[in-house]
Chains A and B, each alone.
Chain A
Amino acid sequence: MTLPTRASGSVVYVVDDDLSVREALSSLIRSVGLAVETYVSAGEFLRQRRQPDERVSCLVLDVRMPGISGLDLQDELARSGNPVPIVFITGHGDIPMTVRAMKAGAVEFLPKPFRDQDLLDAIAVSLASDRQMRAERDATETLQARYNLLTAREREVLELTIAGLRNKQMADRLGIAEVTVKVHRHNIMEKMRAPSVPALVAMINRLAPAKVARR
């Protein structure tokens, strides 16, 4: 068995209570070189995947299952702050169910039986989305780490810089010498590794507002 390299490090979770469906999905997904993990119920999936996976991943989920249903699992994952892109498959989807799933962020909603390509496309989109989400999350975490290096005074100067004040105005407002302001700004650009002030503003905007100290 040869493992295609292009998708290494990604995994597709399949949650379906029906053995036939699980096996068929597993085979189809593996046939395009993706890793598959199958689960017999939402409960089992939650138990096994308590830690967020390092790998890029997506979830192929049957809507109707005994115990926790597919839609409930979607809610549960969204609440845990550990979102995974989801492709729903269903034996008999109705419109309200579809709407609920899509509103909650499902990537696709496929009625059984579905065309293989449709499922594989949906999986590809999901994995791409997860990959991007992870990248953004990583970038944000990096910025946050840099921001955490700033001193309290530097954060104040940063706030005022973003607000568009000039060095002299800042010096007046903070009651310090203009030269000191300049030193602070230099340090900020260094610590945040910002090439320019506009880039700095973009970085700060990217950080969640809660993480920036407010006045």
Chain B
Amino acid sequence: MTAPLRVGDVRIDGTESATTLREKLARIVLDEMYQFVGLLDADGMTLEINHAALFGAGVGLDAIRGKPFWEARWFAVSKETTEQQRDFVRRARQGEFIRCDMEVYGRAAGEETIVVDFSLLPVRDEAGKVVFLLAEGRNITEKKRAEAEVALKNAELGAMVEKVRQFDQQRSDLFANVSHEFRTPLTLILGSVDEMRNAPEPLTATQRMHLATMRRNAMALLKHVNDLLDLAKLDADKMAMDYARVDVAALIRGTADVFCALAQRRNVSFAVLAPDRLPAEVDAEKIERIVVNLLSNAFKFAPQGGRVSCTLQASPNAKLLLRVQDSGPGVAPELRAAIFERFRQGQQGTRRDFGGTGLGLAIAKEFVELHGGIISVTDAPGGGALFLVEIPTVAPSGAVVQDDGAFAPPCSMDRALEAANAESALPDIETDADDDTDARPSILQVEDNIEMRRFIRDALGPEYRIVSAPNGEAALQAAIASPPDLVLTDLMLPMLGGDQLVAELRRHPPLADVPVLVLSAKDDDALRARLLEESVQDYVTKPFSAHELRARVRNLVSMKIARDVLRRELNSQTEDLAQLTRRLIANRTALQESEFRWWTIYQHSPVGIALIDADGMFTTANPAFHTMVAYAGDEIRRVSLQRIAPVEDRASLDACIASLVSGPLQQQHAKRRLQKKTGELIWVNLSVAKVPETAGSGPMMVVVAEDITARRTAEHALRRANDELARVSRVSTLGELAASIAHEVNQPLAAIATNGHACERWLDASPPNEPEARAAVQRIVRDANRAGQVIARIRSFLTRREPKRNEIQLHELVTDVISLVQTEAQTHRVTIRFDPAPEMPAVVADRIQIQQVVLNLAMNALESIARTAGEARVLEVRLEAEPPACLTLRMSDTGAGIDPALADRIFDAFETTKPEGMGMGLAISRSIIEAHGGKLWFEPNQGPGVTFAFTLTMAGME
């Protein structure tokens, strides 16, 4: 320190001794200190005061030195302050350290008070006697003011917190009340809807669909309301725990079971792994809710064809571990805590892949925690989310545990499930009948909410062809594939948000001009303005009315169409001339075209067309006609129509032509034969029609001939095939009767043999008994005839011959048939009742065919009775005349009857109730009777069995 310096009252010139220097430095410290410092003697008389203190009080040291400290200016704030200070001095002199905050004059030369942190420290000499008092004061005015402010703020804060708490309480109460208020009407709605759905009155498909929609939505709403109510209860700490001892494994299996249908519908592979039994003391309803919510969540996120698994196991230390895993997108690490918060879902912004309120996981978490458990989410191995739940298997001590044993799922489950199903069922692209000729304007609707989708479809109704896409991506593809007249899109969309979709659309030139109408619940003015400015034509905020939507859509679509038309007009102006020219030419050639068309038909028709004159001579014929009759080119003009008919038909053709030429008839049709030039006969549908006469030409006729030879051949072949089939069926029926027939033939044969032996014996007797021998021989002749008849009858039945109709007596026919089946009837202990009524009129029919029908019906009846164990075993045949023209045969049996389910089919071919039946009998029988102009039917009897009946026309009435 070379240069002399001065600080306050202290001057240091460098000549001082070390001690003096130290004193001077101490003086500087004292004076320059920010704190107030003073030294008093033991009696409290002021010795030293530093600058800061003097300055604050606006006094000089001399004025107060040697005077009582408490009388100094600082403490003149009040009499109390002075006295307090005096007391401090007294206490300090006795050795007490005094410290307190106090208000003193300390600023603006002792005119303003400040608050100081004041202390008075007794200073002792070596002997421990108090010799000085050290007074210190730190200005804490600012700090004090801040503290006061903080205290004030704290108080305010406290008031606010209280208020918030009240609000929260009110909110919870509101939730609870509102939810309650919602639940009642919702339940009533659901009740009415269910009643309507189950009402006996038939509903139309549309009504059913609407009811289903109402129910689904009411269910979804009810689920949300229930969630809210649960949360309200949780918040109010009113959620009671009903501990019971239940088998959690069974509970989880039962709960998971209900998701199987959903899994199947969504093609999600669903695995449940649980031990056989896992008893635990839990609140079953809440556990079930946890599982339902976790599974609902898993199914919501698992993609089509994905996986969901639910695993339950006991973990050591008396806990159960539940793992629910899906193969969905998983939960990003930063969202893992958030997804358990209320109203939070895994995604933000306008991308929204999945519906729902976001309460499910929050409730699951609350319920897990009520059990004292832990829930967390992590990455599933192989991708997707894995939810882990750990819950103690023992109720906390003191909790009441009911011993339920069995757990009956509460009814809340199907509600939650149905709601979950409704949320996750979203079909892909949905298109109206895809028809290229559909001229309606097309609208591409992008909407992930199925109900909203339906609402819009209904609102826009039949005026538009609507293609619906569930997300932006699909919509973009659909729009590119087939540009619509309007795009109607939601903003909140899965995969590709509405705004992104619009941007993408605008990037494709063919879609650049397609108007876009945005529908959204997002009432975001900024976005709306930006979208309207940039790319979107109109914007509707939900909720909106169908009417409003229709009006806006109509505007946009008609504008778009008008613009398209204008554009086309512009493009086509240059083409107009060419178009006009073409049209002109087209008009001029129209007539020729018509003629040409006719000519083409004439030339190429497979039907023969020819013109003949009044004599029947051909003037012209088309190629088909030429081919048909094998007359080439000009040859046809040298012959007449009559000439190409077979000789025996010519006269009638002559008459036909003559009647057309002179008579009133304009045309005649007939099935006729024509003779080819080669001599072959063909059958034709021949139509001859008069052509109006024109000047200069005589009467002309146009001949149209259609070759039906092939058709007739085919018809013949078919009929032959039918006859053959009927014959085969007869053979088969007789096959079934083989035993009976053998018996029928065997009886007379046995009698013949026996008679022969008897005859021998009568003749061998001595004397020979001639009358007996003769009688035996006569019987032999008779029985041989009888055998012959039986064989003839069977042969005629099997013969292959053209059907031939004669007058026949039905009762004879029936008697014949009964003789054939009599043995069969005996085998099954069936009595056949038939009263031949010979006075019945004859019918015209083919004997063998009708025999076949009666035999078939009789065999059916016998078999039917054979299949029953009934005591009344009767087959009854009745013939009745039904004036004026019919005869009815009824055959009633007491058999097994006909299964009503088969009643419609028994007349079909190959339908059979018999073990060995071919199934042809009734089909053939019906076709035979119908070919005879009658009908064949059956009716159930009053008692057991059925009655088959058929009608035939009486002779002379056909």
A positions within 8 Å CB-CB of B: 1, 18, 20-21, 23-25, 27-28, 30-32, 64-67, 69, 89, 91-92, 112-116, 119
Contact with A along B727-755 (1 / 0, CB 8 A): 00000000000010011001111111111
B260 to chain A, nearest CB (A): 57
Q: Please state if A21 and B772 are interface contacts (CB–CB under 8 Å).
A: no
Cross-chain contact of A23 among B751, B757, B826 (Cβ < 8 A): B751
- Contact A112-B750, Cβ < 8 Å, known A27-B758, A30-B772: yes
Contact with A along B450-478 (1 / 0, CB 8 A): 00000000000000000000000000000
Bound complex: CA A23 to CA B825 (Å): 24
Q: Please state if B783 and A91 are interface contacts (CB–CB under 8 Å).
A: no
A33 to chain B, nearest CB (A): 9
Q: List 19 A-B contacts (CB under 8 A).
A: A18-B751, A20-B747, A20-B751, A20-B782, A23-B755, A23-B779, A24-B750, A27-B755, A27-B759, A27-B762, A28-B754, A31-B762, A65-B826, A91-B742, A91-B747, A92-B739, A113-B752, A114-B750, A116-B753
Extra contacts besides A24-B758, A67-B831 (17): CB < 8 Å: A1-B769, A18-B751, A21-B750, A23-B779, A28-B761, A30-B758, A30-B772, A64-B823, A66-B825, A69-B826, A91-B747, A92-B742, A92-B743, A113-B749, A113-B750, A116-B754, A119-B754
Bound complex: CA A65 to CA B827 (Å): 9
Bound complex: CA A201 to CA B658 (Å): 121
Cβ-based interface call for B205 (8 A):
no
The 4 closest A-B pairs by CB, nearest first: A116-B757, A20-B751, A112-B750, A24-B754
CB within 8 Å of A: which B800-840 residues:
822-823, 825-827, 831
Closest residue on chain A to residue B776 by CB atoms: A27
Q: Please state if A112 and B779 are interface contacts (CB–CB under 8 Å).
A: no
B775 to chain A, nearest CB (A): 7
Which residues from chain A contact B831 at a C-beta distance below 8 Å?
A: 66-67
Contact with A along B903-915 (1 / 0, CB 8 A): 0000000000000
- Contact A20-B748, Cβ < 8 Å, known A28-B757, A64-B823, A65-B826: yes
Q: Please state if A64 and B779 are interface contacts (CB–CB under 8 Å).
A: no
Interface centre among B749, B753, B772 (most CB of A within 10 A): B753
What is the interface size of chain B, counting residues whose CB is below 8 A from a CB of the partner?
A: 33
Q: Please state if B746 and A92 are interface contacts (CB–CB under 8 Å).
A: yes
Cβ-based interface call for B570 (8 A):
no
A97 to chain B, nearest CB (A): 11
Closest residue on chain A to residue B787 by CB atoms: A20
Bound complex: CA A23 to CA B783 (Å): 11
- Contact A91-B754, Cβ < 8 Å, known A1-B769, A20-B783, A28-B761: no
Bound complex: CA A67 to CA B831 (Å): 8
Cross-chain contact of A31 among B742, B765, B786 (Cβ < 8 A): B765
Contact with A along B777-798 (1 / 0, CB 8 A): 0010011001000000000000
Closest residue on chain B to residue A119 by CB atoms: B754
Closest residue on chain B to residue A62 by CB atoms: B747
Closest residue on chain B to residue A32 by CB atoms: B761
Bound complex: CA A65 to CA B769 (Å): 32
A-B contact count (CB 8 A): 91
A76 to chain B, nearest CB (A): 15
A101 to chain B, nearest CB (A): 16
Interface centre among B739, B746, B831 (most CB of A within 10 A): B746
Which residues from chain B contact A64 at a C-beta distance below 8 Å?
A: 743, 823, 826-827
Which residues from chain A contact B761 at a C-beta distance below 8 Å?
A: 28, 31-32, 116
Which residues from chain B contact A113 at a C-beta distance below 8 Å?
A: 746, 749-750, 752-754
Bound complex: CA A76 to CA B762 (Å): 35
Which residues from chain B contact A21 at a C-beta distance below 8 Å?
A: 747, 750-751, 754
Bound complex: CA A27 to CA B786 (Å): 19
- Contact A112-B826, Cβ < 8 Å, known A20-B783, A27-B776: no
Bound complex: CA A167 to CA B761 (Å): 65
Contact with A along B163-203 (1 / 0, CB 8 A): 00000000000000000000000000000000000000000
Bound complex: CA A27 to CA B773 (Å): 9
- Contact A20-B779, Cβ < 8 Å, known A27-B758, A92-B746, A116-B761: yes
Interface centre among B742, B750, B762, B782 (most CB of A within 10 A): B750
Which residues from chain B contact A69 at a C-beta distance below 8 Å?
A: 826
Closest residue on chain B to residue A89 by CB atoms: B750
Closest residue on chain B to residue A33 by CB atoms: B765
Bound complex: CA A64 to CA B765 (Å): 33
B647 to chain A, nearest CB (A): 59
Which residues from chain A contact B759 at a C-beta distance below 8 Å?
A: 27
CB within 8 Å of A: which B531-564 residues:
none
Closest residue on chain A to residue B743 by CB atoms: A91
B600 to chain A, nearest CB (A): 75
Bound complex: CA A1 to CA B771 (Å): 10
Q: Please state if B750 and A91 are interface contacts (CB–CB under 8 Å).
A: yes
Which residues from chain A contact B748 at a C-beta distance below 8 Å?
A: 20
Q: Please state if A18 and B739 are interface contacts (CB–CB under 8 Å).
A: no
Bound complex: CA A69 to CA B827 (Å): 9
Bound complex: CA A25 to CA B783 (Å): 13
Closest residue on chain A to residue B782 by CB atoms: A20
Closest residue on chain B to residue A64 by CB atoms: B826
Closest residue on chain A to residue B739 by CB atoms: A92
A1 to chain B, nearest CB (A): 7
B737 to chain A, nearest CB (A): 13
Which residues from chain A contact B827 at a C-beta distance below 8 Å?
A: 64
Which residues from chain B contact A91 at a C-beta distance below 8 Å?
A: 742-743, 746-747, 750
A51 to chain B, nearest CB (A): 29
- Contact A24-B742, Cβ < 8 Å, known A91-B750, A112-B750: no
Bound complex: CA A114 to CA B772 (Å): 21
Bound complex: CA A52 to CA B779 (Å): 33
A75 to chain B, nearest CB (A): 15
A74 to chain B, nearest CB (A): 16
Q: Please state if A28 and B782 are interface contacts (CB–CB under 8 Å).
A: no
Bound complex: CA A24 to CA B783 (Å): 10
Q: Please state if A27 and B747 are interface contacts (CB–CB under 8 Å).
A: no
Which residues from chain A contact B786 at a C-beta distance below 8 Å?
A: 20
Bound complex: CA A112 to CA B751 (Å): 9
Closest residue on chain A to residue B830 by CB atoms: A66
Which residues from chain B contact A92 at a C-beta distance below 8 Å?
A: 739, 742-743, 746
CB within 8 Å of A: which B682-712 residues:
none
Closest residue on chain A to residue B762 by CB atoms: A31
Which residues from chain A contact B762 at a C-beta distance below 8 Å?
A: 27, 31
B199 to chain A, nearest CB (A): 60
Bound complex: CA A42 to CA B757 (Å): 26
Q: Please state if A27 and B775 are interface contacts (CB–CB under 8 Å).
A: yes
Which residues from chain B contact A1 at a C-beta distance below 8 Å?
A: 769
Closest residue on chain A to residue B749 by CB atoms: A113
Which residues from chain B contact A20 at a C-beta distance below 8 Å?
A: 747-748, 751, 779, 782-783, 786
Which residues from chain A contact B755 at a C-beta distance below 8 Å?
A: 23-24, 27-28
Interface centre among B739, B758, B782, B786 (most CB of A within 10 A): B758
Which residues from chain B contact A25 at a C-beta distance below 8 Å?
A: 754
A68 to chain B, nearest CB (A): 10
B327 to chain A, nearest CB (A): 70
Q: Please state if B826 and A24 are interface contacts (CB–CB under 8 Å).
A: no
Bound complex: CA A28 to CA B826 (Å): 27
Bound complex: CA A31 to CA B765 (Å): 8
Bound complex: CA A112 to CA B786 (Å): 17
Interface centre among A25, A28, A65, A67 (most CB of B within 10 A): A28
- Contact A116-B826, Cβ < 8 Å, known A20-B748, A92-B743: no
A196 to chain B, nearest CB (A): 50
Bound complex: CA A25 to CA B755 (Å): 7
Which residues from chain B contact A32 at a C-beta distance below 8 Å?
A: 761
A92 to chain B, nearest CB (A): 6
Bound complex: CA A24 to CA B825 (Å): 25
Which residues from chain A contact B739 at a C-beta distance below 8 Å?
A: 92
- Contact A18-B775, Cβ < 8 Å, known A64-B826, A66-B826, A116-B761: no
Bound complex: CA A65 to CA B758 (Å): 24
Bound complex: CA A118 to CA B487 (Å): 105
Interface centre among B755, B762, B831 (most CB of A within 10 A): B755
